[in-house]
Chains A and B, each alone.
Chain A
Amino acid sequence: MPAKTYVQTRINGEEVDFLCEPRQSLLESLRDILQLTGTKEGCNDGNCGACTVVMDGRIVDSCLVLGVEAEGRDITTIEGVATPAGLHPIQQAFLENAALQCGICTPGFIVASKDLLEKEPNPSEHRIREWLAGNLCRCTGYDKIVRAVMDAAGRMSA
């Protein structure tokens, strides 16, 4: 039996294929095989959200998905959030609201927030707090992150 499995998937709008070991997670596959290191590891057991990516329209902790499970899926990572036209309104709102300090949790928060605003363009503060409860930040106390998401919602609906 071969040691590695051939995986064909779609990442940030591009067709991608790679070889991974059955025991490698999607997080490892993104970071170590595809060099997409913007997705971060904080706990490797699904409790911190630093590795959040969108898979087939749902946010998932990529540490809890196997690399081989990416077969035939459509995945968006932090590297796919900005466009050639510039930063996404959420990224801009994070910068202007100083919603990051060390920045290690930021990719996960941005991917999760973008998914929220695409599904619910005008969430309440409580709804934002609920949606982001799976993403841990130790630096900010969340205040400026929540404000950034509210600000981004305003920008995107304007």
Chain B
Amino acid sequence: MTATYEPNMVLETGKYRVIGTRPVRHDGADKVTGRAKYGADFSTVGLLHGAALRSPHAHARIKSIDTSRAEALPGVEAVVTAGDFAKDGPEGLVDLGETTGNIAFMRGNVLASDKALYKGHVVAGVAATSPHIAGEAVGLIDVEYEVLPPVLDAQEAMADGASILHEGLRTEEFGETGDKPSNVASHFQHVLGELEKGLAEADVVVEKEFTTETVHQGYIEPHPCTALWNEDGRLHVWTSTQGAFTVRSSMAQILDMPESKIKVTPMEIGGGFGGKINVYLEPVAALLSRKSGHPVKMVMSRADVFEGTGPTPGSYMKMKMGATNDGKITAAHAYLAFEAGAFPGSPVGAGARCVFAAYDIPNLLIDGYDVVVNKPKTAAYRAPGSTNASFATETVVDELADKLGVDPIEFRLNNAAKEGTRMASGLLYPRIGLVEVLEAMRDHPHYETPVEGPNRGRGVAVGFWFNAGMASSCDIAVNPDGTINLIEGSTDIGGTRASIAMQAAEVLGIDAEDVHPTVVDTDSIGYTGVTGGSRTTFATGWAAHEAAQDVKRQLVSRAAAIWDVDEDSIEFAEGEVRSKADPELSMSFKDLASRLADTGGPVVGSASVDPKGVGGSFAGNIVDVEIDPETGKVEVLRFTAFQDAGKAIHPSYVEGQIQGGSVQGIGWGLNEEYFYGDDGRMNNSTFLDYRMPTSLDLPMIDTVIVEVPNPGHPFGVRGVGEASIVPPPAALANAINQAVGARLTHLPMNPVAVTEAIQEVNGS
């Protein structure tokens, strides 16, 4: 298929005028000159600075809090604790986009009340005239703790006699509620066919246990926010968030006030990857503002970010899969226990639905456990749950192929899920592009190049993410010069102003540069879900498509009035309105735009959508590594990432998503982890010690964009933000196995782990 090698290839399947081109992003000049305003750059008159007191203990009962010394410090204007929340606030669930949140737990996570459940859990907040005074005041708050033993991983938390985090928590299991306190919030199953029958049919069975450590999203911008509880009772929040409307609904529930009294202005956002959906300091800043009568700004330190936000769960997994000698997988069992952090709600549900997503397996059983531990409450992280689960699956699949003597890509192709395959959830797949991704991998020059030299190996793996739909809104105003202003509610985390604008431009037959996109606050646009779930280019792009259709309809109507002909005799095509009957009658979009003012007034198009035709995305990797036999360090020599984009609207930013996700997956696979002491304190809460990949650790990340159009989107878009993070840990593990003959079953595969594995193989 691919005769010649290029570092970035697009296997293009649809031709458009604007879509598929690579214009400069609309917010580009602001972002390369330092003019773009992020959350921490916000300032306003009368601003106070907040600081948070965080628990030094991983698990402790809070016996008393005395704020009097802090309040007496000159410059301190307000101090708040959980006691400042409304008594008997609402209970229930709030929609966070890809996940839901339990309101009582959300409130409990924002400010600890009777117990501190992780080191870094916020206990009190202070507002003062400078950040330094606020920081000093935090040190003057006296808290009496009764320190309790922490539980730090899923297996420990599930053991009999484990220290209990929530006395009121009972296990939800198959519709029944347990009768005693437990750290297991829920246990669920997915079943297809008969597992034992399928295992009996297998000629080869592989069974392994896997563990992964807690990792963080690692966005470079620490969480910033400012809140102003105005004299009219309205709350205004400026924050860096993936979803301004999600912040609005979360704040409304946590503070027990109507959503209509809250306005959220999304500032530019410095990375999120799922970790900037939940609110953390926003409610604390709001309480401080109400108490002080001033706007209050709070910005986290890097240690606060590690210890109080994110992360994605550590996990304990058992995997058993069987296949016949002719290379068909007959049965699979996955046992997934994921750490939720201090409150229920790990992504084990999504992990369970992704664990066998790539394969057509007639008999399977998936057990999922959501387990609370004394770590920060986990948040979404790029394909949440799928990376953990796929590390286990793709390692076992690789070993099955190995034992059967089959090429690992051919083995995957032989068992690949396709349109009509039944998913673990019981539903059937719509059109998906896994086969095309695997074929692109098989046919790529990288795969045809031999791996040469000692201590070198090659690994492959694939991964899946569902992607999301959800509501989005868009308004388009036509300017007299034939450009348009595009108003949207999706915060732009990686170039979506461009990818959304390009879809509107395609419909109207204008250039990408003729669109002026603006991201606005929650008072200024219809409801729009989070920038997450790889949904923004899909759903907000669709809203832009529909708003542009609305503009087209109005322009046709206007032209009919100008020409005094019937609307049905006019069409809008190729950027112009024209009579279907009279070739003399035509006007370009720009000509007509210039005449709107004196032919009936301005044209504004508007649309809200809630699309259901979501198309899941598969990703795959080929990776070559070299192991230093002395130190165990893994060097990535060559990395090619493949992903089905459906349709790449702006290929450069699709490549960027694939490259960024791949490198996060490499970091997760090889190096990143939270180091905990026995006391439950994180020992590496800096970027020096929580070492994310640097430019020097990596080769170029080559990409292949596969386009299998999603029939559920007007341009075939699937969404590309997440699946790329899934395959790297398993692909690296498979490459390490080929290099040194050792299967690593624990993440990260750092030099110590690799050295130990080599020593075990060598029997030394």
Q: Which residues of A contact B (CB under 8 A)?
A: 21, 23, 31, 35-45, 47-48, 50, 77-79, 81-82, 87, 91, 94-98, 100-107, 110, 125, 128-130, 132-147
Contact = CB atoms under 8 A, between A and B. Distances in A.
A50 B220 CA distance: 8
Nearest to B694: A133
A103 B270 contact: yes
A87 B40 contact: no
Contacts of B659: 140-141, 143-144
Nearest to B28: A95
A102 B494 contact: yes
B268 interface: yes
A67 to B, nearest CB: 13
What 8 A-B pairs are tightest by C-beta distance, nearest first? A38-B34, A104-B270, A141-B663, A103-B31, A98-B652, A101-B494, A78-B34, A47-B687
A42 B692 contact: no
A50 B301 CA distance: 14
Nearest to B27: A103
17 contacts: A40-B221, A41-B299, A44-B302, A45-B302, A47-B302, A48-B687, A78-B33, A98-B25, A98-B656, A101-B271, A102-B220, A106-B31, A128-B695, A136-B220, A136-B687, A137-B695, A147-B700
Given A23-B132, A37-B41, A100-B32, A105 B220 contact: yes
A125 B699 CA distance: 10
A128 B653 CA distance: 22
Interface in B270-298: 270-273
Nearest to A98: B652
B701 A141 contact: yes
Interface centre among B27, B35, B37, B299 (most CB of A within 10 A): B35
B218 interface: yes
Given A37-B34, A42-B221, A143-B701, 15 more contacts: A31-B41, A42-B270, A42-B687, A87-B33, A96-B24, A98-B495, A100-B31, A102-B220, A105-B270, A132-B696, A138-B664, A141-B660, A141-B693, A142-B663, A145-B695
Contacts of A40: 38, 40, 220-221, 270
A48 B660 contact: no
B378 interface: no
A133 B495 CA distance: 24
Interface in B335-365: none
Interface centre among B218, B650, B695, B701 (most CB of A within 10 A): B695
A137 B220 contact: yes
B36 interface: yes
A79 B36 CA distance: 11
A81 B495 CA distance: 23
A58 B233 CA distance: 50
Nearest to B219: A138
A101 B32 contact: no
A21 B132 contact: yes
B493 interface: yes
B219 A102 contact: yes
A39 B656 contact: no
Interface centre among B268, B272, B299, B659 (most CB of A within 10 A): B659
Contacts of A50: 220
B394 interface: no
Nearest to B688: A47
B688 to A, nearest CB: 5
A47 B268 contact: no
A139 B271 contact: yes
Nearest to B657: A101
Contact of B271 (A35, A104, A133): A104
Contact of A42 (B32, B302, B696): B302
B177 to A, nearest CB: 40
A39 B655 CA distance: 27
A97 B271 CA distance: 19
Contacts of A42: 220-222, 270, 302, 687
Nearest to A36: B34
B13 to A, nearest CB: 22
Contacts of A41: 40, 222, 299
A93 to B, nearest CB: 9
B25 A95 contact: yes
Contacts of A105: 220, 270
Nearest to A39: B34
A88 to B, nearest CB: 9
A80 B468 CA distance: 42
A77 B36 CA distance: 15
Contact of A37 (B37, B495, B688): B37
A76 to B, nearest CB: 12
Interface in B42-75: 43
Contacts of B2: none
B162 interface: no
Contact of B32 (A95, A133, A143): A95
Contact of A138 (B268, B273, B688): B273
A138 B271 contact: yes
B269 interface: yes
B686 A43 contact: yes
A84 B302 CA distance: 36
A143 B700 contact: yes
A21 B269 CA distance: 29
Interface string B505-548: 00000000000000000000000000000000000000000000
Contacts of A96: 24
Given A103-B31, A144-B655, A138 B686 contact: no
Nearest to A137: B220
A104 B663 contact: no
A29 to B, nearest CB: 13
Contacts of A128: 695
B662 interface: yes
Contacts of A39: 34
Contact of A47 (B37, B686, B698): B686
Interface string B676-688: 0000000000111
B29 interface: yes
A23 B299 CA distance: 18
Contacts of A48: 220, 302, 687
Interface in B618-670: 650, 652-653, 655-657, 659-664
Interface in B585-608: none
Given A87-B33, A143-B701, A44 B301 contact: yes
B37 to A, nearest CB: 7
B22 interface: yes
Nearest to A42: B220
Contacts of A45: 302, 686-688
Given A45-B688, A47-B688, A102-B219, A136 B694 contact: yes
